[in-house]
């Protein structure tokens, strides 16, 4: 007599997981990580028109690990300092207050929500893509004469829901030694990252344009956006460019140039030429964060 296996199939496990996530989203009980303290403070300082560089430097200096990481990045080939930078004041003078605030926020978020055991390689890729999207967003915004700091933040956080969903999956697993494969998890993460990211953005009290970009960055969905910062449409193109750089199987350059978002941004071939020329520099900047 053969005894039928009672172990759930992968399809059944995914259905249970989807139901679990849906319930938590609908009931508002999603287990959301807190915005790191320093990241929250940096966000407030960078949004304060009366804040000065001294206040920002003092804030970063409170976290010695963060300060050391910032100085390491500032001295990397990506930012090409004329001479070694040995203090945050020098870093601010070289990079500018807004750039330094962006670096500090990024490093702080990376060490928090983008730190997940069991899927280090995949989370590293998520972080690389998010950071590259933010950097491309800045350059797109610069060409449009829009707020580059807002565009960076929109791009950096546009898929913040992905590590949130991954965190939820891990905390719901009773057997940590038999975790789902990334291939099984990826469709679930892709399906739920926008509502999860939107919930997180509300809890973190992120600027309204950033919350809008998280909700509406996908192709054509950005047409629903109303913010004058145009963060959603900028992030859409930046997301495509980041995928093009970090995923060899993604769209080629010719296909990218034909995307509707290019037309909707009123970008010309020379605009795209300029963005494609930035690929190597943005890769270097991302690598500077990941060392």
Closest CA to 109 of 35, 43, 183: 35
Cα separation, 170 vs 23, whole angstroms = 17
| Residue 66: per-residue pLDDT | 86
Give mean pLDDT in consecutive 10-residue pieces for the chain, a chain of 291 residues. 55 76 78 80 80 84 87 84 87 83 83 76 90 94 92 93 85 68 88 93 90 97 96 98 92 95 96 96 88 63
Examine the domain organization and report whether 108 and 123 are in the same domain: no
Examine the domain organization and report whether 80 and 123 are in the same domain: no
**CATH of residue 157:** 1.10.3210.10
Helix axes 88-95, 53-61, angle to 10 degrees: 130
| Residue 264: per-residue pLDDT | 97
Examine the domain organization and report whether 133 and 170 are in the same domain: yes
Last residue of a domain, one of 56, 80, 112: 112
Q: Using an 8 Å Cβ cutoff, are 154 and 137 in contact?
A: yes
Question: Would you state the structure tokens that stand for residue 193, as one six-digit string?
Answer: 């990252």
| Residue 224: per-residue pLDDT | 97
Last residue of a domain, one of 112, 132, 165: 112
Examine the domain organization and report whether 233 and 96 are in the same domain: no
Examine the domain organization and report whether 69 and 125 are in the same domain: no
pTM value is: 0.86
Examine the domain organization and report whether 253 and 196 are in the same domain: yes
Does any domain span residue 197?
yes
The whole domain housing 201 covers 119-291
| Residue 160: per-residue pLDDT | 92
Last residue of a domain, one of 112, 129, 147: 112
Residues 6+ apart with CB under 8 A from 95: 74, 79, 103
SS (H, E, C) the chain: CCCCCCCCCHHHHHHHHHHHHHHHHHHCCCCCCCCCHHHHHHHHHHCCCCCCHHHHHHHHHCCHHHHHHHHHHHCCCCCCCCCCCCCHHHHHHHHCHHHHHHHHHHHHHHHHCCCCCCCHHHHHHHHHHHHHHHHHHHHHHHHHCCCHHHHHHHHHHCCCHHHHHHHHHHHHCCCCCCCCCHHHHHHHHHHHHHHHHHHHHHHHCCCHHHHHHHHHCCCCHHHHCCCCCCHHHHHHHHHHHHHHHHCCCCCCHHHHHCCHHHHHCCCCHHHHHHHHCCHHHHHHHHHHHHC
Does any domain span residue 28?
no
103-134 core/surface letters (b: 16 or more CB in 10 A; e: else): bbbbbbbbbbbbebeebeebbeebbbbbbbbb
Examine the domain organization and report whether 125 and 63 are in the same domain: no
Give the chain's end-to-end CA distance (angstroms, integer). Answer: 57
Does any domain span residue 19?
no
| Residue 241: per-residue pLDDT | 97
Total of domains in the chain: 2
């Amino acid at each position: 007599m053969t005894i039928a296996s009672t172990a759930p199939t992968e399809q059944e496990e995914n259905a249970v997981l989807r139901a679990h996530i849906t319930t938590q989203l609908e009931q508002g009980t999603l287990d959301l990580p807190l915005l790191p303290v320093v990241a929250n403070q940096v966000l407030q300082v960078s949004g304060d028109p009366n804040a000065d560089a001294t206040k920002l430097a003092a804030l970063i200096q409170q976290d010695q690990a963060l300060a050391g990481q910032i100085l390491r990045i500032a001295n990397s080939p990506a930012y090409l300092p004329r001479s070694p930078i040995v203090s945050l004041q020098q870093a601010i003078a070289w990079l500018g207050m807004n750039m330094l605030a962006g670096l500090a926020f990024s490093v702080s978020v990376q060490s928090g929500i983008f730190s997940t055991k069991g899927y280090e390689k995949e989370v590293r890729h998520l972080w690389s893509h998010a950071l590259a999207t933010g950097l491309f967003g800045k350059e797109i915004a610069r060409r449009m004469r829009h707020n580059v700091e807002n565009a960076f933040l929109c791009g950096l956080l546009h898929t913040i829901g992905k590590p949130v969903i991954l965190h939820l999956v891990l905390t719901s697993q009773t057997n940590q030694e038999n975790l789902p494969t990334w291939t099984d998890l990826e469709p679930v993460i892709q399906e739920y990252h926008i509502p999860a990211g939107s919930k997180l953005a509300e809890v973190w009290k992120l600027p309204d344009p950033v919350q809008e970009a998280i909700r509406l960055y996908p192709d054509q969905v950005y047409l629903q956006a109303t913010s004058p910062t145009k963060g959603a449409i900028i992030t859409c193109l930046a997301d495509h460019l980041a995928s093009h750089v970090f995923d060899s199987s993604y769209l080629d350059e010719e296909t990218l140039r034909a995307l509707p978002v290019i037309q909707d941004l009123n970008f010309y071939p020379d605009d795209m030429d300029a963005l494609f020329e930035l690929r190597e520099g943005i890769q270097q900047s991302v690598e500077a964060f990941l060392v």
